[in-house]
Structures are given as structure tokens and as C-alpha cells.
Amino acid sequence: MRSTKAISAVERLKTRSGNASYAAISMPGGLFYLVERSAEGSKKLSDPMPMDEFVAFVNAREPGKPRRVSKLDLAMEEQIGRSGKRTAKAPAESGE
């Protein structure tokens, strides 16, 4: 079984958290667990789990990167918001 997916998830976690001491430990049978290494030793952060569960656990560990928003994205969201308000007001105006 390839461990590239699990290691990539830990690398993304390191980037998101700014903590380079996270590591994935591979066990026989395709199981992985997360540790945080420090001068005092390694602290086990999860139980051994299959790769897909491990990747989901690591991805949920820290918040994701904030989405980059361009001026065009903001303008589109503003336009959508304005068009939504018009359609919401139209039935109320016709009912009066």
C-alpha cells in the first residue's frame, strides 16, 4: 500500500499549522498514526487507523487555508446578493 497520500496529508497539516514537528508513523498492515515530536519525545496524537481514515483525521485536525478571494469574486458575490434581494422583494411588493 502506498503511503504517499498519508504523508502528503501530514505535510499539508504542517503548512496549515506552522508546526513542523508532526509526523506520520506507518505500521504493518497499512495502518498509520500521527505523532508530534518534541525535545522531550514523541506524543502520540491518534490511534492506528487505515490510510483513508488517517487522511480524514489529519485534514480535520487544523482549519484549512482561507480561500483567496479576488476583486472579481467579490463583485460577483455582491451582484448575486443584489439579485437575490430583488427577487425576494418582488412577491412582497405585488401582495400589497
Provide the pLDDT for residue 96: 47
State how far the Cα of 24 lies from the Cα of 33, in Å rounded to an integer: 6
What's the whole-number mean pLDDT along residues 10-29? Answer: 89
pTM: 0.62
Question: CB of 10 within 8 A of CB of 62?
Answer: no
Question: From CA 18, how far away is CA 63, in angstroms rounded?
Answer: 12
Measure Cα distances from 80 to 41, 46, 70, 75 in Å.
Answer: 53, 43, 15, 9
- Listed in sequence order, the residues at least 6 apart from 12 whose beta carbon sits closer than 8 Å to its beta carbon are 58, 59
Q: 32 or 81: whose pLDDT is higher? A: 32
Q: Residue 64's pLDDT band (boundaries 50, 70, 90)? A: low
Measured in residues, the chain has a length of: 96
Could you give the count of Cα atoms lying within 13 Å of 36 in the half-sphere of its Cβ? 10
What is the pLDDT of the chain when averaged over all its residues? 82
